[in-house]
Chains A and B, each alone.
Chain A
């Protein structure tokens, strides 16, 4: 058997067995979390550093909670990207972290590939918590866990990922994960927000929501950054909502029991209508947050097990 991976940098390249193993382990953490218990012996004495070069209260808190429930010492380091540009480089940061004997390093960065660069230089296991427009592996894992718990499977499902695909690391990780597990993935959005050659990743491209959502089992909405409108990729919020915002009428094109997902934070009235986002029968958005903690516990647990035992110091 191959060595277990040292880092979690991307979903691309992972085979179905390790993905399924992570999802199965995460299931057990869902039960543990719901029981109100913790497993503080698992990561006792391990140091987890949340290194966030980009603000994200949601993801950072989720990793922090996951680490604490497993007993790790959790430290949050928020580094504004601008101050890094002014002096300390990413690799200076890596040297600092090595000196701190960090075991697990969670990295969020606005540049694609930054965690890969860090992983070459740090001793810690690196977990990509979102890099530029490249990948966001734990988001895809938590989405898959949410889908699996709701529908009982992933293989054969039709999943429509809608909105700003070109700037979305969530979309890329989900495309890799869902196609690897046998789902039929569609991407839906205006042509200016669909990246070149995306069909080479094994997805079908739609520009019309009614067509893209037809018969879908899962509708996954993405956040539209306001600066995309300033950048001229979309003329206005109202036009975007009219053609690509998810409302009840568009959702009616999907399968009758289709679930609605969103990685958050939502722009209500731009990519999603509140009536849909808050509909307990369809929206699983809150459940996604719960699954996030369980999935991150599974990832931390798995990577920590793959590391040599604690230093004898």
Chain B
């Protein structure tokens, strides 16, 4: 493998606080050196960054990839294309596939499928319950041994308090987190949008926004009771974020993430029944959107995830309440997050941290930083280059983006996995 030398790049490594112009040298798929200026080894391939940002490949803690079971929506191969185009080199993949990832062999299978792409590390979640059915606990120990990164039932809330208590308690013994979809199921049943003026006007069954905080407050108590670690995924309301903020200040092992739609869109994106804006949790009122954006900056939110949920036209071209919730998110993860930087609400370092070092540290993943000797998983992006999101023209199979038509600034120009160029 020839050496690879990045020159004239803005080196950005939130984990070490590095942010300066420089160069980076890759040898045999690993980062050999980086700094203000490096000599050019003979025969090295040179990438002239012309001022573009070079950061660690992004680490996405939440995506469904369609495989196994929903290949008509996305395959690991098509998701790998979308991920590479989005600068993502590591993905924690949700377990609520068909079959669900509740068996060690399936964890190994998914990891191997990821490696086979050559562009993506797949880190499967193990199911909390067998089949993600919300009944009996899955084999946390064996799943963990096989490489499950944490435990989750995916889109299904771990509903009964007794089940969540047992899951937190048992997972604690293996040092693993329980990742919750925080939404009180009895308040959410049959609903399609956040309860309020818009849902009332459109005649859509609504979920009260407090369905999120109700589950968060319960699970914080259960984490305290059991000593287990709980992670809330895709927080979208001010009330839930306040609870997490307070729990963190008390030193409880409580963490959370959010996804771009929840800080970049509000419920008005539904317009007249736009099913591409039907997500789970549903888009919220403007005040909640603003609270999520603020919580990115103040550290309450630990990571930004793509929450990639591929859907095809048949899933979406239905009356709103019948359409499947979920949005494609891999290709837009970085650029939508950078909009917060361009808007002056978030520093570039913090934005990139939320997409790299912070999620990696949360789940103990050896990725997400520029480190000598580490695999050269890298993302080179242009901070200001503008582009427009067009459903139908996104990389990969899933086209169900809630950001259709949106103009964004910040574009990935190259992605490298272990020193091999996989995009750009």
- Chain A residues closer than 8 Å to B36, beta-carbon distance: none
23 contacts between A and B (CB under 8 A): A89-B317, A91-B317, A111-B319, A111-B322, A112-B202, A112-B203, A112-B204, A113-B204, A113-B272, A113-B321, A114-B319, A117-B319, A133-B205, A134-B203, A172-B201, A172-B203, A195-B200, A196-B200, A196-B208, A200-B197, A200-B200, A201-B197, A201-B201
Which residue of the partner chain B has the closest CB to A111? B319
Closest-CB distance, B94 to chain A (whole angstroms):
26
Kindly identify, within residues 56 to 102 of chain B, every residue whose CB is under 8 Å from any CB belonging to chain A: none
Are B273 and A197 in contact, with the CB atoms below 8 A? no
Residues of A within 8 A of B199 (CB): 195-196
Query: In the bound complex, how far is the Cα of B195 from the Cα of A113, in angstroms?
Result: 17
Question: In the complex, are the beta carbons of B273 and A117 less than 8 A apart?
Answer: yes
Say how far A67's CB is from chain B's closest CB, in angstroms: 25
Contact of A12 among B196, B201, B204, B206 (CB under 8 A): B201
Taken residue by residue from 182 to 224, chain B's Cβ proximity to chain A (1 for < 8 Å, 0 otherwise) reads as 0000000000000111011111111010000000000000000
CA gap between A112 and B200 in the complex, in Å? 11
Say how far A51's CB is from chain B's closest CB, in angstroms. 14
> What is the CA–CA distance of A143 and B93 in the complex, to the nearest angstrom?
54
Residues of A close to B319: CB separation below 8 A? 90, 109, 111-114, 117, 132
C-alpha gap A114/B317 in the complex (Å): 10
Interface residue? A116 (CB, 8 A): yes
**Bound complex: CA A6 to CA B201 (Å):** 21
**Distance to closest chain B CB from A97 (angstroms):** 16
- B354 to chain A: closest CB distance in Å? 33
Closest 3 CB pairs of A and B: A134-B203, A111-B319, A113-B273
CB <8 Å contact, B317 and A132: no
B185 CB, nearest partner CB in chain A, Å: 16
Contacts of A117 in B (CB 8 A): 273, 317-319
Contact mask for chain A residues 74-114; partner B; CB cutoff 8 A; 1 contact, 0 none: 00000000000000011100000000000000000101111
* Among B197, B201, B272, B317, residue most surrounded by chain A Cβ atoms (within 10 Å): B201
Task: Say yes or no for B42: interface residue by CB 8 A criterion.
Answer: no
Q: A98: shortest Cβ distance to chain B, in Å?
A: 15
State whether the Cβ of B314 lies closer than 8 Å to any Cβ in chain A.
yes
Residue of A whose beta carbon sits closest to that of B317: A91
A116 to B270, CA, bound (A): 13
Q: Which of B201, B203, B208, B314 contacts A132 (CB 8 A)?
A: B203
- In the complex, the chain A residue whose C-beta lies closest to that of B272 is A116
Q: Which of A89, A90, A91, A197 contacts B200 (CB 8 A)?
A: A197
> Which residues in B have their C-beta under 8 angstroms from that of A112?
202-204, 273, 319-321
B322 — which chain A residues lie within 8 A by C-beta? Answer: 111
Complex interface bits, A284-304 against B, C-beta within 8 A gives 1, otherwise 0: 000000000000000000000
A271 at interface, CB cutoff 8 A:
no
By a CB distance below 8 angstroms, the chain B residues around A195 are 199-200, 206
A113 touches B200 (CB 8 A): no
Complex CA–CA separation, A114 to B318 (angstroms): 8
Determine which of A111, A196, A197 lies in contact with B320 in the assembled complex, contact meaning CB atoms within 8 Å.
A111
| Chain A: minimal CB distance from B199 (Å) | 7
Please pick, from B195, B196, B314, B320, the residue contacting A89 in the complex, using a CB distance under 8 A: B314
Interface footprint category on A: 20 to 34
CA distance A91 to B320 in the complex (A): 14
Measured in the bound complex, the distance between the Cα atoms of B272 and A112 in whole Å is: 10
Taking CB atoms, residues of chain B closer than 8 Å to A90 are 317-319
The answer, yes or no, to whether A266 is at the interface (CB within 8 Å) is: no
Does residue A198 face the partner (Cβ distance < 8 Å to B)?
A: yes
- Dominant SS at the A interface? mixed
The residue on B at minimum CB distance from A195 is B200
A262 on the interface (CB 8 Å rule)?
no
- The CA of A172 and the CA of B197, in the complex, are separated in Å by 12
Residue numbers in A under 8 Å from B201 (CB-CB): 12, 172, 201
Chain B residues whose CB sits within 8 angstroms of the CB of A186 once the complex forms: none
Q: Which residue of B lies closest to A197 (CB)?
A: B197
Q: Which residue of B lies closest to A172 (CB)?
A: B203
- Least CB distance from A171 to B in Å reads 10
> Measured between alpha carbons, how far is A107 from B201 in the docked complex, in Å?
19
Q: Which residues of A contact B320 (CB under 8 A)?
A: 111-113
**B111 CB to nearest A CB, Å:** 37
Given A113-B272, A133-B203, A172-B201, does the pair A197, B317 have CB atoms closer than 8 Å? no
Kindly supply a per-residue 1/0 record for chain B positions 264-290, scoring 1 wherever the CB is within 8 Å of any chain A CB and 0 otherwise.
Answer: 000000001100000000000000000
B206 to A196, Cβ gap below 8 A?
A: yes
Interface presence of A164 (CB below 8 A) = no
A112 to B206, CA, bound (A): 13
Complex: A111 Cα to B317 Cα, angstroms: 13
CB distance from A290 to the nearest CB of B (A): 27
Residues of B within 8 A of A197 (CB): 196-197, 200
Which residues on A sit within 8 Å (CB–CB) of B202?
112-113, 134
Known: A90-B318, A117-B317. 6 other contacts (CB 8 A): A90-B319, A111-B320, A112-B321, A133-B205, A134-B202, A195-B200
- In angstroms, Cα B406 to Cα A170, docked, is 36
A196 touches B196 (CB 8 A): yes
A residues 191-206 near B (Cβ < 8 Å) are 195-198, 200-201
Nearest CB of chain B from residue A176's CB, rounded to whole Å: 9
Interface centre among B195, B196, B203, B321 (most CB of A within 10 A): B203
Q: Given A111-B319, A134-B203, A172-B203, A116 and B273 touching (CB < 8 A)?
A: yes
Q: Which residue of A lies closest to B206 (CB)?
A: A196
A12 vs B200: C-alpha distance when bound (angstroms): 12
Q: Could you tell me the distance in whole angstroms from the C-beta of A178 to the nearest C-beta in chain B?
A: 15
**Per-position 1/0 for B308-319, Cβ under 8 A of A:** 000000100111
What chain B residues lie within 8 Å of A111 (beta carbons)? 319-322
Which residues of chain B have C-beta atoms less than 8 A from A201's C-beta?
A: 197, 200-201
B253 to A: closest C-beta gap in Å: 35
CB distance from B207 to the nearest CB of A (A): 11
Q: CA–CA, A197 to B319, complex, Å?
A: 23
Q: Are B273 and A89 in touch, CB under 8 angstroms?
A: no
User: A120-156: which residues lie under 8 A (CB-CB) from chain B?
Assistant: 131-135
Chain B 333-352, CB-CB to A under 8 Å as 1, else 0, gives: 00000000000000000000
Q: Indicate whether A46 reaches chain B with its CB closer than 8 angstroms.
A: no
Q: How far is the CA of A112 from the CA of B204 in the complex (A)?
A: 7
Does A169 make an interface contact (CB < 8 A)? yes
A70 to B320, CA, bound (A): 34
A112–B202 Cα distance when bound, in Å, is 7
Residues of A within 8 A of B314 (CB): 89
With A112-B204, A113-B273 already in contact, the answer to whether A196 and B317 are too (CB < 8 A) is no
CB distance from A50 to the nearest CB of B (A): 19
Complexed CA–CA distance, A12 and B127 (Å):
46
* B204 to A: closest C-beta gap in Å: 6
